[in-house]
Amino acid sequence: MAPIADDDEIPASAPVDPDVFTSGSYSFGSDKTDAVVPAPEAPTHEVTSSIRPKTDGNDLLCAHAPANTVPSVPAPFKFWMVLVCAPQAQALVPIEGMVWFAHGTKEPVSVLALPPGIAAMPRTVDYNPSYNVRFKHIYASEATGKKRERAVSMLDAAQSRPGAVLAGADVERVYQLDAVSSIYDMRYNIYFYVSDNLPRAALICIDACRQMLLVDVLNNDEAQARLAKP
């Protein structure tokens, strides 16, 4: 599966719906029932007996993950995020020293392989969601040409709250990461907006960016300063 092509239709002013993407530690949209993807009546993803828990505790660093269940994060995103095996699913989280907040808020954000609206499956002797609910594929590319123009337009349109971290006019490069979940092949499109060689904002999309979440990408000092504000 390739990244979105230049001629694919992406709305330039898609709605930013924080109820679809609920921020929080490893809970990106997984606890909402009013999300884009309806919850199934019964589990439809395969329970693979070979992917079973190998320790009694959590395996956040995926040290005990079975072979071929933890895809590599490609450059340049590997310098900005890491894939972890969270209790309810694999997740993409910022590297140490970097913080993702929902735009204009103090709410941390991570990206779960468990799509919005899908109930988490309990861990059993034969089923470990840390490994079964995973990202099958992760692709990266630089957005150029018309794709870059659309991505910058979406950034400007999404910054409805005051205090924009990065204006579209200041964006130097735009990079796109496509992460495909093992559940329904749900694809997340994640755009990182780079200035001075560092990402300063991101858009996390599903449904070809008809639903999205704007993220402020901060360093630790910036995050602490925001948290200190009333």
Kindly indicate the confidence band of residue 213, based on its pLDDT and cuts at 50, 70 and 90: very high
pLDDT for 22 equals 38
pLDDT band at 78, cuts 50/70/90? very high
**CA-to-CA distance for 192 and 100, rounded, in angstroms?**
12
Cβ atoms of residues 128 and 62 within 8 Å: no
Q: Which pLDDT score, from 0 to 100, does residue 28 have?
A: 45
pTM of the predicted structure, to 2 decimals: 0.75
- Give the residue, 188 or 49, on which the prediction is more confident: 188
pLDDT at 157: 86
Confidence band (pLDDT; 50, 70, 90) for 11?
very low
Average model confidence (pLDDT) across the chain:
78
Which pLDDT does position 222 carry in this prediction?
Answer: 94
pLDDT > 90? residue 168:
no
Residue 126 pLDDT? 86
Place of tokens 């694919």: 8
DSSP-derived secondary structure for the chain: -PPPPTTS---TT--B-TTTS--STT-SSTT-SSSSSPPPSS--S---TTS---SSS--TT-TTPPTTSSPPPPTTGGGTEEEEE-SSSEEEEEPTTEEEEETTSS-B--EESS-TTPPPPPPBTTB-HHHHS-EEEEEEEEE-HHHHHHHHHHHHHH--SSS-SS-GGG--EEEEEEEEESSTT-EEEEEEEEETTEEEEEEEEETTTTEEEEEEEEEHHHHHHHHH--
pLDDT at residue number 36: 24
pLDDT at 26: 30
Please answer whether residues 139 and 178 qualify as being in contact, where contact means their C-beta atoms are separated by less than 8 angstroms: yes
